[in-house]
Amino acid sequence: MNPLNATHDPKLRSWVESANVPGCDFPIQNLPFGRFRPAGSQEAFRIGVAIGDRVLDLAAAHVIDHADMNLLMAATPAERATLRAALSEDLREGSPRQKHWQLALYAQADVEMGVPCTIGDYTDFYTGIHHATTVGKLFRPDQPLMPNYKWVPIGYHGRASSIGVSGQRFPRPKGQTKAPDADTPVFGPSKRLDYELELGFFIGQGNALGEPIGIVEAEQHLFGVTLLNDWSARDLQAWEYQPLGPFLSKNFATTLSPWLVTMEALAPFRAKAFERPAGDPAPLPYLDSDVNRHTGALDITLEVWLQTAKMRAAGEPATRLTRGNTTQAAYWTPAQLVAHHTVNGCNLQPGDLLGSGTLSGPEPDQAGSLLELTLGGKNPITLPNGERRTFLEDGDTLTLRGYCERDGAVRIGLGEVSGTITGA
C-alpha cells in the first residue's frame, strides 16, 4: 500500500488559489493526471495535472518530455512517487517555480479532455454484492447469487473501442429482444436502457505472460482510479446473456471521467475490506493477505444525478438519484481483482482497464442502476418536475460524481462523468 507522506499534509496550500477552496475536487493533495488540448483546436493531446480549476501542461512546465500517458503509467512505483513529490513541491505556496509554471496553466473550462490513456483491454467485474443480490432476486428469487460468487471475482471481457470520456453522446442501441410470452425475438431499439455506477481501475506496470501478480504486490501494478458508467441495455441483455454473458447489451458505449486519481493520492482514504457475513467463505490464499483485509478497500462516496431533456430546456438542474459508499458495496478489493485476473498467467499492460461492476449500497437510495431503483421497471421513480422514469429516455443526461473525505485529510474528488442518450 502507498504510505502517507508530505504530499498528503492537510496544511498544504497551492499558489493556484482555486485549489485552496474548501470542497474543491482537485486540491494540491490530489494531483490527478489526464490528457487535454485547447478546446476547438486540432492539436495533439498532451498530459496535464488538475490543480483547482486549472490544468498544468507537464511538457510546457518541463516536467516530462513526452505526451504518452501509457509510458508515464508504466513507471515504477518509486518513479511515480518521485514525480508526485516534485509536483507537490513546485505547486505549493512559495515555490520558485510559480512564475514559470503559471505560463503552463490552462483553465479547465477552456480545454477538451480525452480518454485518459490508450486502453488496450477492458475487463468488467461484478464486485457489487448488493447489486448482484438485488438483480439476482429479480430473475432467480430462490438463488439470487450463483454458487461461485463468494469464491471468485466474476468478470467478463468488454469492448475498449467504444469507451469514451465525459460528455460522450451515443445513440440508443438496437438489437434483439424477446418478450417472455413471445415465441420469437424482434429487432429494434432498446426500451430498457440503464446506467451502471462503477469505478475504473487502471493498470500501471504490467506483468509478463505466464507470471501471475501476487496479492501482496497487486496494488503496485495499479496506477489510478476513475469514475465509470457501463451503460446497459437490459432488454438486450436478458435475451443474449446466456450462456456466455453480455455482448451487444454492453459494447455500444462506456463512459469514463477524464482524470486518473492516483493510488498515491488515495492513501488517506483506505478502509477495511468488505466485512463478509458469518458463514461466507474466506478467500482462497491467493486472494488473501493481512494487509488486504485491513486496508484493501477504498473509501469513496459516489453519487448519481439525472437531468432530462425537459429539465434542461426549462433551465432546471439535475436531480440526485442515489448516494452511496464503496466500503458498503464492493465484495472484492482492487488488489484481489488484479491477483485473480493474472493468476492463470494472463499478462496485463499499462493502460488496461478493470471495471468494478455496479457499486450499490444496502439501502434502496444507494442503488447503482435504474434496474434496482425501479425493481426491474415495476416501480417508476418520480422526478421533481413530475416526470417518471423506469429506464432512461432519449435526451437524458446521466452524471456520476465521486469524492473522498475523512477527518484529518483534505477532501479530494474524482471529478464527474456525464453522458447523454440521443435517438436510436
Place of cell 490543480: 51
Instruction: For residues 8 and 29, give the distance between their C-alpha atoms in angstroms, rounded to a whole number.
Output: 5
Burial class (CB in 10 A: 0-12, 13-18, 19+), 298: buried
CA nearest 48: which of 37, 61, 38, 34? 34
For residue 264, how many other CB atoms are within 10 A of its CB? 21
189 preceded by a cis bond (ω within 30 of 0):
no
Q: 3-state class of 207 per DSSP? A: coil
The grid cell for 29 is 493533495
CA nearest 396: which of 320, 310, 316, 308? 308
CA distances 7 to 4, 96, 178, 264, 276, Å, are: 8, 18, 55, 9, 33
Instruction: For residues 140 and 129, give the distance between their C-alpha atoms in angstroms, rounded to a whole number.
Output: 15
Instruction: For residues 91 and 80, give the distance between their C-alpha atoms in angstroms, rounded to a whole number.
Output: 17
Please confirm, yes or no, whether 157 is among the known catalytic residues. Answer: no
Which one of the listed residues 8, 130, 131, 221 is annotated catalytic?
131
Rg of the chain over Cα atoms, rounded to whole angstroms, equals 21
Task: Point out the residues that are catalytic.
Answer: 131
